Amino acid sequence: MSESGDKQTEQSLYYRVGGGEFFTDLVDRFYLRVITDEKLRPMYPEDLNPGKANLAAFLVQYWGGPSIYNETRGHPRLRMRHASFPIGLEERNAWVQHMSDAVNESTVDSEDKRLLLDYFSMAASSLMNE
């Protein structure tokens, strides 16, 4: 890898937050909230483990880690994968609140928290279909 490639890798959020373990922990904290949410829980299958693994792999890839998500699931196609779920403002806000709480419980610095929170807000808004 070139020197500039190494520098880019070192600067990615994935590496700054400690790699895949951070995202696995983040997703675990998020799902602890989802399972008690009367609005969101019905949108998820009974077995949450595959979804947890997929979300963690997606986030790892998105933030500069290994491309495991693409290798196992193909292109993310987020809108297509979520199109069958009724996602209005209430659902979007609940999802963002749970993810924000999970992010805010982490020990990453405030700049990286802001990057994560901004992304999750934008991504959730883009999935609204009601």
Instruction: Look up the CATH number of the domain holding residue 78.
Output: 1.10.490.10
Tell me, what's the pLDDT at 16?
95
> pLDDT tens for residues 80-125?
666 678 889 999 999 999 999 999 999 999 999 999 999 999 999 9
Tell me, what's the pLDDT at 112?
97
* pTM score: 0.85
Tell me, what's the pLDDT at 38?
94
Tell me, what's the pLDDT at 53?
96
Q: What is the DSSP string of 93-129?
A: HHHHHHHHHHHHTS-S-HHHHHHHHHHHHHHHHHT--
> pLDDT tens for residues 63-78?
999 998 877 876 666 6
Number of domains in the chain: 1
- Domain containing residue 27: 3-126
